[in-house]
Amino acid sequence: MSPTEPTPLAGQVALVTGAGRGIGAAVTTRLAALGARTILCGRTRASLEKTATAIQKISTEAPSASSSITSTSIIECDVSNLRSVESMAKAVDRTFGRLDILVNNAGIMGPSGPLHELPPEAWDQIFNTNLRGVYYTIRSLAPLMIRAHSGHIINISSLAGKNSLPNGAAYSASKWGLNGLSYGLAEELRAHNIRVSVVCPGSVQTEFSGHEGKKSERMLQPEDVAHAVAAIVTQAPQSFMSEILLRPTQKP
């Protein structure tokens, strides 16, 4: 964003889970460039600080957004732990008194292999992060949006939640569940003027998991997902994009 471009999210507060790297870092940086006060949420402070440093650099490129960027905050939080999420929500309410955008991005892939060989603890870890964690954040943060009668909730899912994924059945199931949660939640919160969207990207070039045999230059990039999120949160108020399926132009 150039210094002369507007900052449509000025004055808004955005929280992104899993903001320390990959998609989460790209989404947070993009929202900051659009003028939002950003809250970086994740388990590892060192990675969150790297994202915060990248966001601070935007102020030299877009001075009009500098007042928002300087309010970037870091909150260490494990979305799979209800107490941790509730503590985070209290900090958001205490510090900002509002939340306009929630991006549920934190997720894990888990080990690859046949479902019947997957250890039960790996199943629990996948679902506790990818699905239960989203429930925890919505349970804790949606009341701030309901109070304001406004907001965006964006859940980062996967095309694996639309198509079968052999040797990744648990991950695929968690994303199918996330999609179903998103559709139902969208209907529940429409009366409160809260728009719920789900973004389902294909394979994204990150350190999230291996992509053996795929050409990285053809894969989706984290910035592609951030672009989709930006489109959602800057759309006209009379409509909302309930679902975005994001694919690379060429198969990797």
Which residues participate in catalysis according to the annotation? 171
**Integer CA distances (angstroms), 89 to 27, 49, 59, in order:** 20, 20, 27
DSSP letter for 164, please: -
Dist CA 95 CA 169 (whole Å): 40
For helices 222-233 and 22-33, give the axis angle rounded to 10 degrees: 40
Sequence-ordered list of residues with C-beta below 8 angstroms from that of 68, at least 6 positions apart, any chain: 7, 9, 10, 11, 32, 35, 36, 37, 38
Dist CA 186 CA 155 (whole Å): 11
Q: What are phi and psi of 75, to 5 degrees?
A: -130, 115
CB count within 10 Å of CB 44 equals: 11
Q: What are phi and psi of 156, to 5 degrees?
A: -85, 110
Q: In residues, how long is the chain?
A: 252
